[in-house]
Structure 1
Amino acid sequence: MRFYYPAELKNMLSNYAVANGYDIWFEKNVSQRLLWASWMTKEKTFHIKSLVSEYNCSRVFKFGSIVTYKWLGKQFMSEIIK
């Protein structure tokens, strides 16, 4: 997958976590990575290089770190304006 900015990737991952009931956090340079992404200099985009799709964690419906006022604003801005 290609993204123009790292924030785009984080937003997509946050949306996925909320929709599927996963608690996520973002850390740099940890030994066990579930996802690794980096810049592609020739294409000027951010690519997912590897992803561990089989991850056995329980679902958690505590979204305090993901569902912030900024996330809510991005998700519902067009509906609020209407």
Structure 2
Amino acid sequence: MSSSRILLASRCATEDEISELVFKLQALLPERRRQHLRRVSRDEVLEEVCSYIRKLHKQVDDTSERISQLLASADLDADVLRSLLQQ
């Protein structure tokens, strides 16, 4: 092992720990994405996880925007609004 890898290993997770974490991340992906990622590199798994997280962020932003639009266009009192948000 090179001296730089030894230094890195002393400060960071071990290769086995990293592999285990990547495996756990891959398991969090939707089924169709997990099937697509079988026997791929860590980089590919991490890229797919990042892509999936970006997609989820976009869905949250889009949903928030839609809710804001609906609330702005509706003339609702506080009780009706509370009941909608609790569902």
Give the TM-score taking structure 2 as reference length: 0.18
More helix by share: 2
From the two aligned structures, give the one with the greater strand fraction. Answer: 1
Which one has more relative contact order, counting CA pairs under 8 Å at least 6 apart?
Answer: 1
Larger-gyration structure (1/2): 2
